[in-house]
A and B are shown apart, each in its own frame.
Chain A
Amino acid sequence: MKKPEPVTQVKRRRDLALNVIVNQVPYINFLGVTFDRHGDELTATMRFHENLIGNPELPALHGGATAAFLEISAIVGLAWASLWDEIETERLNVKLLQAGELVLPKTIDFTVDYLRSGLPRDAYARARVNRSGRRYASVHVEGWQDNRDRLFAQASGHFLMP
């Protein structure tokens, strides 16, 4: 039987692949969104910043910032899920990805459901790929803040696969 790969090596390869996806997109950095990885599960974080406010009186997050955060989570989650097999079998050519060969899925439509107003705090999101075909994919995203069971927004969308 083949000896299992050392854990540090596996983690390094997975994190490298994730960083390549995330760091190449300027808008992810603009919004201040980061990703935490546990195995293949990704959690996106949008750290609170005054620039994300849409209603200064409440104050509340801008609906557009929430929409963008969920859309970023969906695209990165989908790209990550579709690269996963290549990452695990060491077929992934990180050099090519870093050289700008990474083609991300394109949004066809995206529907956001605002459940409660976004508080001036960090926000989290996780995407679930419900269907991923050769051409189209359907992704659902849940967003929450302090309490995982109290979603402040959810979204679903269709994407065109690269």
Chain B
Amino acid sequence: MNKKVSSKAQQFIESIPHSRNLGMRVVEIGDGKAVVEMPYDPTLIGDPVTKVLHGGAVSALMDTASGAAVVSHQAAGVGTATLGLRIDYMRSATPGQAITATAECYHVTRTVAFVRATACDTDIDRPVATATGTFTVSTAQK
């Protein structure tokens, strides 16, 4: 994917109201892969004692990155919707650090796109969470 298309895809993702509301930024997108970053913010805290981000915010990031990976895949068409999303939380994200989700759309059929994603804080060797998802494919009628 060339740079121009990539920046268009970037704008497309960053214009999604909920993703924008969470401060998400597309770091990289193209060929079925997307990297999306979400800054730490005190309004997103889920555990008042430890100040750790809420799992829901991480889910929203995973869903955005996964959906972005799908729309950037050449066989998946322009729009998509989540069918199923499973998230495993391996550890608490370190408070104060941004979370980066890397999603890869590894298989696309005529009707379904399959995605896996990993979320990390600045310690990239120990992921915070992993996810697998299935998404709709909206190619023109075949």
Which residues does A use to contact B, with CB under 8 Å? 24-31, 50-57, 60-65, 67-69, 71-72, 75, 100-104, 106-114, 117
Contacts and interface: CB of A to CB of B under 8 A. Distances in A.
Nearest to A156: B86
Q: Choose among A25, A53, A62, A71 the residue with the greatest number of B CB atoms under 10 Å from its CB.
A: A62
Given A30-B43, A63-B81, A64-B18, A71 B60 contact: no
Interface residues of B, number: 38
Interface stretch (B47-55, B102-110, B119-127): B47-55
Interface string B1-17: 00000000000000111
A128 to B, nearest CB: 19
Contacts of B18: 51-54, 61-62, 64-65
Contact of A100 (B22, B49, B54): B49
Contacts of B89: 106-110
B15 A102 contact: no
22 contacts: A25-B45, A26-B45, A27-B53, A29-B43, A51-B18, A52-B17, A53-B17, A54-B67, A55-B79, A63-B81, A63-B85, A64-B19, A64-B62, A67-B59, A67-B87, A71-B54, A71-B56, A109-B87, A110-B55, A110-B87, A110-B89, A117-B81
Interface of B: 15-19, 21-22, 42-49, 53-57, 59-64, 67, 79, 81-89, 92
Contacts of A109: 86-89
